[in-house]
Structure 1
Amino acid sequence: MCYIVFFTSIGSFQEKSAPSVIPLVSSGTAVPSSSASSPSSYQVVASHGKRKIERVEQPPVVVSQPPTVVSQSYSTAVKSNLPTAVDSHFHFDRSWIKIWGTSAGKFPEDLVKYRQTECRPTHPVHLIGGVAVFSEPSRYNLIPKQSQTWYLAVGVHPKHVEELSDSCFLQLQSLLKWPSLRALGEVGLDRTVPVSEWRKQEVVLERVLGYALPDQCLVLHLRGTREDKYGQDVHARCLRILDRSLAKRQKIHLHSFAGDADLVSEWSESYPNTYFGISGSVRTFDSRQIKALRSIPLDRLLVETDSPYLSVNRSINSPACIGDIAHLVAAKMGVPFEDVLSKSLENGLRLYMC
């Protein structure tokens, strides 16, 4: 199951007739964006029940009681001129357990603080949010209910389909109806398990796709066999399954994409609202995968840590390391680091918040 967390408080409209600015920080008070002095800065403007993303061109108004920023204090974020970023995919519960041996009483901010103090990232960023993933039905009960602060996505990792009982399916359906729920995922197909388990994964995928709502994003986990390095077979199979139940306008996040350029084209043509998530696995991309990476339009690029896995420079990954991933992605793509961060930020907000 995947659950998406943007560390931003929605807040209420100041006046019903005027739009309200939603700050991208962890706070219950609507204030100007704290990242306007960064190379790229954005805010979400809400008006008459609709939201849109706007680039902040002017520096923010100084506030006397600044909110708490996820990755650092407000004043430090402004003075340091760090680029703004979001982590589009990380495993909340697994990170807790790997670091502290428990999932009780922990929050995304704890992961950021741990990474900053224990293993400082090489390329620090002003982290304003992210996508936290719960991919095991046995942990559905760990999903926080602070819906005004965190946006959620719920799904079933293909390697955990055996955990699904009738009661879990009912619980999944119920969770998907939460007002703060923005995505179904991660779900998908994983061919690294024995062949005897493949059919079960497909049956579960087809069933949960029936729960998808038109305005929710679908987060897909697709991994081929060891012989199918680029996942061509598993992607083709998934596309056939999706074509039976999804509209062409469906928003899709291909988590930890490692395919070739042909798959980039096929997904983009089949589902134009497909976004490609690039994780630390980019470190080992071969020339064919790098060609695919460079073929991804910047307005469809997402950067993700997939923490606590796939660290590019330390044993334990965390959302605080998103800058390190983005720096590696930028080097492989041959584009500026700041462009990768700003586009991933803009795309993540568009995909999950608006």
Structure 2
Amino acid sequence: MGLLQEKEGWEQVVPTLQPINSPAILAHWRPLVFLWDKLSLEQRGAINQLELEPGLQKPAPIPAIHVQGSNVTEKVPPEVSGFDSHFHPDRLNELSSGVQDVSKSILPGREPDHYVPITGGVLNYCDPLNFSHPEFEEQVLGRIIDSNSKLAIGIHPKQAAEYMQGQWECFLKLLSNPRVSAISEVGFDFTVKKHLWRHQKELMDRILSLGTLGRILVMHLRGADDGKYSKVVNRLALRRLKRECLPHQRVHLHCFTSDVSMVHAWNEAFPHCYFGITGKVRSFNEDQLAALREIPLNRLLLETDSPHLKLHPGCTYNTPYYLGDVGYYVARARGVPLAEIIGATYTNAQRLYC
């Protein structure tokens, strides 16, 4: 440090941390901050518990801050926890040892930049082959004893041309179980070949003909060639729901990526409509960001859609563990603290899935 002071022409002092009295200190702390960022939460906790040498005073904690465009973590108060409103445990099971308990989420490669403890979530099973398994009721329904864990069952639009009648009957049986809160995923995915679209329309009509049985409708609306906003499939779904459902129907728009006009259309048609935002928020354009800011705070939900939509290049897949990182990008887009988004979306999910 002395050589650096001499080279840069800084005042010749003995560098100290209390007070920080020289720019040379940065030469010491820059690699330490880099190394600290590489540690796990457990390793950081162990270091924090180390005893100081006699005579040294522990420095006062530095408040967490956020610098635009940096990786500095914005922390949330310890009493604030998150609710992942949409993830797929069965698909996660194919990649890991399982994540039935969302409070013990798995870590596939790196720590989140913005850690938030997860104390609730909606477990989505929309693959008929999985929920029609003979042991599904015992292994899944039998474990949904935590009031913060909600269950959604359905047939994904991409499965519309493939599901069997026996799987449909199993789906109906599961809907009769009071532990099932939602029908998921209902809607259209026009990324498949065009000749398969009619099967998706038939499946949606078949589901809506049930009367929804008081369940939440979790909508999957993904367009083909109508841009990023999926306005065609949004309008198709909205038209069908307005025809078949009452205005008080609870609706969860999963992975919402449309524009302001669709925010208004869904809100006007269904006052109990909620908008789920995933990691796709990182690539939103100005129209989509405007829509995100237009969503009322009390109608906003956070989703990881894990194991899909991984947020970080170093990860092999996504998990609910990264919900705080999704929340961070939503908070930044809306210009509010992360804690506000995490708290509001937790309350919203509890209200919707009560």
TM-score normalised by length of structure 1: 0.72
Shift of the alpha carbon at 1:113?
A: 4.2
Greater share of helix residues, 1 or 2? Answer: 2
The aligned counterpart of 2:124 is 133
- Which deviates further from its counterpart, 90-99 or 263-272? 90-99
Q: What's the CA shift for 1:211?
A: 2.6
Question: SS where residue 101 of structure 2 aligns?
Answer: helix
Corresponding residue of 1:58:
none
Partner of 1:92: 89
Partner of 1:291: 290
Q: How does 1:199-278 map to 2 (within 5 A)?
A: 199-213=198-212, 215-278=214-277
Structure 1 Cα separation of the partners of residues 105 and 249 of structure 2: 35
Name the aligned partner's letter for residue 296 of structure 1: I
Distance across 2 between alignment mates of 1:338 and 1:214: 35
Following superposition, the deviation at residue 277 of structure 1 comes to: 0.1
State the alpha-carbon separation in 2 of the partners of residues 110 and 249 from structure 1.
30
Aligned CA distance change for structure 1 residues 128 and 237 (closer, same or farther; 3 Å): same
Q: 1:236: Cα distance to partner?
A: 0.6
Alpha-carbon distance in structure 2 between the residues aligned to 1:113 and 1:135: 20
Cα distance in 2 for partners of 1:125, 1:295 equals 25
Opposite residue 139 of structure 1, the aligned amino acid is N
Structure 2 residue matching 1:129: 3-state secondary structure = strand
- Return the letter of the residue paired with 2:100: P
1:317 partnered with 2:346: no
Q: How far is 1:82 from its partner?
A: 5.4
SS in 2 for 1:315: coil
Flag the 1:96–1:110 CA change in 2: closer, same or farther, 3 A.
farther
Same amino acid, percent of matched pairs:
36
Alignment correspondent of 2:352: 351
**Further displaced range: 146-155 or 301-310:** 146-155
**Counterpart of 1:108 in 2: which secondary structure?**
coil
Which one-letter code corresponds to 2:141 in the other structure? K
Equivalent in the alignment of 1:189:
188
Deviations 1:268-290 (A, max 9, x none): 00111110000000010000000
TM-score scaled by length of structure 2: 0.72
Q: Secondary structure at the match of 2:114?
A: coil
How large is the Cα RMSD of the aligned pairs? 1.8
- Listed as ranges, the gaps of 5+ residues in structure 2 are 1-76
Aligned to 1:308: 307
Is the 8 Å Cα contact of residues 154 and 172 (structure 1) preserved in structure 2? yes
Q: Which runs of 5+ in 1 are unaligned?
A: 1-79, 101-105
Is 1:112–1:318's contact at 8 Å kept on the other side of the alignment?
no
Q: Does structure 2 conserve the Cα–Cα contact (< 8 Å) formed by 1:184 and 1:212? A: no
Aligned to 1:326: 327
SS in 2 for 1:250: coil
Q: 1:1-16 maps to which residues of 2 (within 5 A)?
A: none
Larger radius of gyration: 2
SS in 2 for 1:148: coil
